[in-house]
Structure 1
């Protein structure tokens, strides 16, 4: 387990999946990050790569071959290696090998950087295409879960969600695990809304953010503590909690990609939300978490 600390925050990160394990403020010692529970959702903050969401039949085709891939890709279940570390920052990476090439026929180098910046945790992903001649096709996203409520005194339906810009958004609906981008609904976020488990009866609330700066704030209104997640250049941001079985957490998920469409034909070159990275190029993605 890797620990980062400054005068305001202490963060723990698991080298398996480079997954956040703990987020605490030193002044209140509240655990903001969901601690995982095999009875509900065992994960805490997985990195989604090289896919976001589910593929139809958990498979896709590329260059005449069919590949099997489970929801959200494989990065979350693989070891990351530390390549640089200070008391307040760590950079970790994983890259392709014989095992990944069996399910994803591309070379890649995926780096994640966690850095404490005063009262914020800045998270950035760097995707590098080391190939000399092949375009890398991928999606990437984050899936951090936060304890809601934050203390035993709280209750889930006293969780307030507010967003910035505070306006109407196009909400992407899901049919099962697949997106129905062609039939969005408007969701009015001019005012904050109190969450209830039933809000997730059709899975995640997905905001279509179209590459803008989007902020989601979760507040446990019983204790007036919570988290602010700032996202940058995202295509979508998902808000999710488990349903119909319920648990006391809410995820705020910056996505640069999306699950298969309900009409997807399974061909990787046709898949929505995929990024194309030319040989020897790189791309960068970022968001931040501020517990308060």
Structure 2
């Protein structure tokens, strides 16, 4: 287990999946990160790569071949190696292999950089295309889960979700596991939203953020502690809790990609939300977690 620490925060990270394992403020020793439970959601903060969400029939077509791939891709279940580390910063890396090429026919280098900056944990996903002749087609996203409520006195259905800017947003609705972006609904976030399990009956609440600066804040009113997730450059931010399992858990998920559209034809080149990275090029995706 990798430990990062400064005067404000102590964070632990697993090399399997480069997954966050613990986020604590040093002044209150509250555990902000969900610790995993096989009865509701076994994961904690998986990295979604090279797909976000589910593919129709768990497959896609590219260059005349059909490939099988499960929800959210394979990066979360593979080991990363540490390529650089200090007391408050670590870089972990995963690259293509014989196994990945069987399900995803692209060369890639994925680096995950975690860095403490005051009371914030800054996260950067750096994707490089090492191929000299072909573009890399992929999506990427984050899926950190947070303990909600954060005290024994609080209850799940008292937890509040605020977003900034506080305005009305277009919300993409999921039809089963697939997105129906052609028929969005509006969600009014000018005032805090008090969450409940039924809110997630049809899976995640997906905000269309359009790449603008967007912060989602979860607050436990029983002790006024919570977490800000700051994003910039994301097209979508999902908010999710497992259903019908009722866990004291809420995920805030910056996505640079999205599940297959209900009308998908299965062709990777037509898939909604995919990124195309030119040969030898690099792109970076950033967000931060700020517990309070």
- TM-score under structure 2 length normalisation: 1.00
SS in 1 for 2:215: strand
Residue-by-residue CA offset, 1:61-100 (whole Å, 9 max, x unaligned): 0000000000000000000000000000000000001000
What is the distance in 2 between the residues matched to 1:164 and 1:100? 38
Matches of 2:109 and 2:96 in 1, distance apart?
7
1:134 is matched with: 134
1:253 corresponds in structure 2 to 253
Give 2:62's aligned residue.
Answer: 62
CA RMSD of aligned residues (A): 0.4
Matched, 1:195 2:195: yes
Aligned-pair distance for 1:224? 0.5
| Deviation (angstroms), 1:154 | 1.1
2:213 alignment partner in structure 1: 213
Gaps of 5+ in 2: none
Counterpart of 1:276 in structure 2 is 276
Per the alignment, residue 237 of structure 2 pairs with 237
Which has more strand, going by share of residues? Answer: 1
Determine if the alignment matches structure 1 residue 39 to structure 2 residue 35: no
Task: Name 2:286's counterpart in structure 1.
Answer: 286
Measure how far apart 1:201 and its partner are: 0.8
Aligned to 1:180: 180
Counterpart secondary structure, 2:57: helix
Mapped to 2, the partners of 1:130 and 1:116 lie a distance apart of 29
CA distance in 2, matches of 1:21, 1:150: 16
C-alpha deviation, 1:22, in angstroms: 0.1
> Cα offset for 1:174?
0.2
1:146 Cα deviation after fit = 0.1
2:54 aligned counterpart, secondary structure: coil
> In the alignment, what sits opposite 1:164?
164
Q: Residue by residue, what CA displacement relative to the aligned partner does 1:6-28 show, whole Å, maximum 9, x if unpaired? A: 00100000000000000000110
Report what 1:121 is aligned to.
121
Tell me the alpha carbon deviations over residues 131-188 of structure 1, each in whole angstroms, 9 at most, x when there is no partner: 0000000000000000001122210011000000110000000000000000000000
The reply to whether residue 23 of structure 1 matches residue 50 of structure 2 is no
Using the size of structure 1 for normalisation, the TM-score is 1.00
Aligned length: 292
Secondary structure of 1:102's match?
helix
